[in-house]
């Protein structure tokens, strides 16, 4: 079985639905102290960041069962910042899992709070914290603009969004 790479362009509606599923799991983990859920999320984030949405159980669930029931038209956005955001999620959830296994709870709770806030911002408000950091790193030259030309030119992306909205 071939696992695809992370796509250059993704549907923002689908991304927000994936974030909503992550939000639910993160809220349950934090509210019920079910820290093992961070291991589940860590596996999903690692798979999604490393091999793309086709390797992520949560993305597969959303694409097969949830997205077809949402009538919103696709809104395409750059995929590389979303991949970076998934990598950030992987770092946080792997850290939470390791800390949980080490028997510490306060750092796990702090990471758990972050794992509620970040997907809540994405799913509810469409604010991708990882994407914002990705943009900052590009402006600082840490990530070369050539990696994501569409991401580097925010005015072009805003113009294409406005054109798509006007055409609708």
The answer, yes or no, to whether residue 148 has pLDDT greater than 80, is: no
The answer, yes or no, to whether residue 122 has pLDDT greater than 90, is: yes
Per-residue confidence at 167, pLDDT binned at 50, 70, 90? low
Per-residue confidence at 1, pLDDT binned at 50, 70, 90? very low
Which tops the pLDDT comparison, 153 or 137? 137
Per-residue confidence at 39, pLDDT binned at 50, 70, 90? very high
The answer, yes or no, to whether residue 153 has pLDDT greater than 60, is: no
pLDDT score of 36: 97
CB-based contacts of 113-122 (< 8 A; 24+ apart in sequence): 113/30, 115/22, 115/26, 115/29, 115/30, 115/38, 115/41, 115/89, 116/23, 116/26, 116/27, 116/30, 118/88, 118/89, 119/19, 119/20, 119/22, 119/23, 119/26, 120/23, 122/15, 122/16, 122/19, 122/85
The answer, yes or no, to whether residue 14 has pLDDT greater than 70, is: yes
Across the chain, mean pLDDT equals: 90
pLDDT score of 73: 96
The answer, yes or no, to whether residue 166 has pLDDT greater than 70, is: no
């Amino acid at each position: 079985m071939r696992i695809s790479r992370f796509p250059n362009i993704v549907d923002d509606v689908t991304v927000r639905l994936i974030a909503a599923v992550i939000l639910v799991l993160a809220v349950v983990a934090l509210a019920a102290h079910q820290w093992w859920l961070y291991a589940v999320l860590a596996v999903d984030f690692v798979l999604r960041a490393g091999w793309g949405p086709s390797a992520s159980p949560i993305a597969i669930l959303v694409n097969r069962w949830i997205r077809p029931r949402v009538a919103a038209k696709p809104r395409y956005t750059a995929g590389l910042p979303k991949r970076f955001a998934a990598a950030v999620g992987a770092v946080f959830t792997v850290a939470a899992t390791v800390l949980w296994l080490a028997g510490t709870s306060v750092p796990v709770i702090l990471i758990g709070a972050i794992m509620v806030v970040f997907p809540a911002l994405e799913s509810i408000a469409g604010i991708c914290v990882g994407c914002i950091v990705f943009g900052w790193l590009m402006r600082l030259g840490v990530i070369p603009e050539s990696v994501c030309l569409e991401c580097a030119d925010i005015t072009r992306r805003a113009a294409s969004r406005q054109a798509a909205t006007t055409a609708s």
